Amino acid sequence: MGFFDKLRGEFIDIIEWLDSSNDTMLYRFDRYDNEIKMGAKLIVREGQTAIFCNKGQIADVFTPGSYTLSTDNMPILTTLMGWKYGFHSPFKAEVYFVSMRRFTDLKWGTKHPIMLRDLEFGPVRIRAFGTYAIRVDDPSVFLREIVGTDGHFTADEITDQLRNLIVSRFADIVGESKIPILDLAANYDELGDFVTKRITDDFTQYGILITKMLVENISLPEAVEKALDKRSSMGVIGDLNKYTQYNTANAMEEAAKNPGGMAGGGMGMGMGFAMANQMGNSMTNQPNQQQPSSPPPLPQAAQYFIAINGQQSGPFDLNVLKQHISAGQFKPDTLIWKQGMAQWTAASEVAETAGLFDNTIPPPLPPQ
């Protein structure tokens, strides 16, 4: 600093900060050798807080107002400096002005897609972005934890860290909410409020308060969005047969207006046959038209598992079970099971298999 700057600093007795920027969160007042004279004026405007530091230690904090610096309004600094009877010579101290206004339209967004499990679409990836607003809540904590010795601290210097906190909490909340992908757009406000509440404690550690968070968009990968568009288009079309007939009729009309010799005639005939085929299929599919139908497939025979020598065997149908009866491997007390049964049951207690043993028991002998 030159001689005239030094001389100008000695005559300046007003300490104030006029902020002409939109992103400055903290500004250190420039004073030659950090000297402050007796009776200096301190002006703290609305939306500002002034912090005096002595040898790197936070001392007195001043809220908006006009002050004549003395031992009465600087109790902490007076104690640190040992002014028993007031100060009469310049003293050294650093003065930091902290902007207490709200910083809005700060951007957040996911650098990488977030993996989620959707009940309808299965595993999907989403991206999200939006804006948020913050303000300094505790100037002393903000100076101590974030700024340090930086003499001119802007919002850009902390937005990356804040964005990472927001994205982390957002991914956690979306994963826990189990909100279907197609319903996320209807819950932007709720998601923003949930993230704001969840992240408040994290921001408080920096002396910052998040006042508002907005979710502006949640998007799917391009390929998934195209598939959804096709699915939506099919829903709008409705009856595919009628839609095909409509397009075919339009194509025939256009071909008739612009005949192109044999090629045009052949194309027209092809379209005519295609339309006739479509109309024929449509007529055969009318619900009131009685058409011969083929018989349904025969019902599949029930399959049974049986326990032979403590081992599961099968599945067998009733004809095979009859063979096992002849071989002595399938008896009335043999345990069996088929699909739909709650547990293994003796064959004699199951209606389908109990009748298999009727012919195996010989009738009584005729009387002599």
Tens digit of each residue's pLDDT (9 = 90 or more) over 127-141: 999 999 999 999 999
Half-sphere exposure of 180 (CA within 13 A, CB side): 5
pTM of the predicted model as reported, rounded to 2 decimal places:
0.57
Which superfamily does 103-224 belong to? Band 7 domain (3.30.479.30)
Q: What is the pLDDT of residue 11?
A: 46
DSSP helix/strand/coil, 47:
coil
- The pLDDT, as a whole number, for residue 262 is 44
Contact 109, 164 (CB under 8 A): no
Are 108 and 171 a contacting pair, CB within 8 Å? no
* Domain positions in the chain: 3-99, 103-224, 304-357
Name 76's Cβ contacts closer than 8 Å, sequence gap at least 6.
52, 59, 60
- On the question of a cis peptide bond just before residue 315, with omega within 30 degrees of 0, the verdict is yes
**Residue numbers of the chain with a pLDDT score lower than 50:** 1, 3-4, 6-9, 11, 261-263, 265, 289
One-letter amino acid for residue 86 of the chain = G
Cα(148)–Cα(53) distance, integer angstroms: 11
